Structure 1
Amino acid sequence: MPAVDQNSVLEAAMSILFRGGWVLAPIFVLGWFGWFLMLERYAYYFMLRGGSVNGVDGGFWKNLEKKGEDFAFEKLSHHRFGYFYALARDVRNYRDKGPIAVRNAMEETRHRISLNLSRSLKTISTCAALSPMLGLLGTVSGMVHTFENIKLFGFGNPVLFADGISEALLTTQAGLLMSFPLMLAYNFLAGRVEKIEELAWSEALKYESYVFKEGKFEVK
């Protein structure tokens, strides 16, 4: 397999950038910034998902039933950044103070993690929405460039206004190519975030009910 010439790839990219006009640069910057935020959000999501899945898939409850609460919680602590682990830890830390204290602590943790989960999502959505708008701006700019050349030189030589048409088409294409995948990834992530919140919260409520239903801890 022949090696890829990095210089030729860079030259091709710069050629496309110059042919697309000044609008193409902010489209690329906006798109890569949106994808950087998206990847960071996915990393944070999978970090929280670990502990939650441990609670949802039955592993925590099987350990709780067979080997006791301390062992189950110790295994769960391996996912110490997980959503379910954070809520379950509140149950353990505040159970001696009663169900009201436990619920207040859980609500505070739920609110804090929800804010962290939704952070940057609006910015990602904005990047996805602005990319085609910038592409449209590039289209208008390219057409203006084309008509200026026609005004100066007429239709005698189409090469003179080909740059304007190329600018219009390239910016439109770049805006759409940046927007569509980013919006699809955003919608998928938003749905997964909502699901993990629901699952972690329902499992935490189940654990809270188990703790106080068993009556193992005296309420002060």
Structure 2
Amino acid sequence: MFELLKAGGILMVPIVICSILALAIILERFWTLRPSRVAPPGIMAELWRWIKSKDLNARKLKALQASSPTGRVLASGLMNAKHGREVMKESIEHEASQVIHELERFLNPLGTIATITPLLGLLGTVVGMIKVFAEMEFTGAGNAQALSGGIAEALMTTAAGLSVAIPALIAHRYFIRRVDALVVDMEQEAIRLVEVVHGDREIDVEGA
């Protein structure tokens, strides 16, 4: 493996760094964006039971807030429900914007990695070919070993850049879709909560 990296030249260093960063981000986002963590199963059913039995107090609101990102959004709305529908909606939207920002954390760097690694590979290709032509100019086309070194550097960096960029791009698109899906579910539950609290909708504990 070291020989392959060495054959790619100096530009293999930033490509390898990008690959490590991409892997770290992908693993961290897989762990953080689990649906069971963002919106734990049963959290809504339990909340509806608390509301229906009028058993919702400050202690349970704090527990709801600490339980998950969805819990944070719903607890924020409930804490301001007494101030009216609009204030409740505004508090939910404010908290949701912070939660969404956290859910999208590291996705921009991952997208940047997916963009720049092919360019680094292309730059390595150009550098490698420049070395090939420079060698041909000074020694002629008969020095096969020197020529093969430049060609190997050009091909290695291109392959390495694409090998990092392709999975990074796939993961970036996947996480964007996952965040969108989680946000839609969160918004639906928040709308239901506002309607239930202000008497526009009946609580359906079984369907929660």
Identify the TM-score tier after normalising by the shorter chain. Answer: 0.7 to 0.9
Name which of 91, 102, 105 aligns with 1:116.
Answer: 102
Name which of 145, 154, 167 aligns with 1:181.
Answer: 167
Residues in 2 aligned to 1:202 and 1:191: alpha-carbon distance in whole angstroms: 17
Distance 1:81 1:168, change over 3 A: farther
Measured after TM superposition, the shift of residue 113 of structure 1 is 1.1
Correspondence for 2:116:
130
The code of the aligned residue for 1:141 comes to V
1:126-165 CA-partner distances (Å, limit 9, x unpaired): 1110000000000011111111121222122311211001
Unpaired segments ≥5 residues, structure 2: 202-208
Contact 2:62 2:75 in 1 (8 A): no
Q: TM-score, with normalisation over the residues of structure 1?
A: 0.79
Q: 3-state DSSP class of the match of 2:22? A: helix
Measured after TM superposition, the shift of residue 78 of structure 1 is 7.0
Measured after TM superposition, the shift of residue 123 of structure 1 is 1.5
Q: TM-score, with normalisation over the residues of structure 2?
A: 0.83
Name which of 157, 179, 198 aligns with 2:184.
Answer: 198
1:33 matched to 2:17: no
Correspondence for 2:204:
none
1:20 matched to 2:8: yes
Residues in 2 aligned to 1:185 and 1:51: alpha-carbon distance in whole angstroms: 19
Identity rate, percent:
25
Looking at secondary structure, tell me which structure has more helix per residue.
1
Could you tell which deviates more after superposition, 23-32 or 147-156?
147-156
Residues in 1 aligned to 2:2 and 2:54: alpha-carbon distance in whole angstroms: 61
Distance 1:185 1:69, change over 3 A: farther
1:93-145 CA-partner distances (Å, limit 9, x unpaired): 11222222211210110111122222322221111100000000000111111
Correspondence for 1:54:
41
User: Which runs of structure 1 show a deviation greater than 4 angstroms over 4 or more consecutive aligned residues?
Assistant: 73-79
Root-mean-square deviation (CA, aligned residues, Å) is 2.8
Residues in 2 aligned to 1:44 and 1:17: alpha-carbon distance in whole angstroms: 32
Unpaired segments ≥5 residues, structure 1: 1-12, 216-220
Correspondence for 1:64:
48
Number of aligned residues: 198
1:88 matched to 2:74: yes
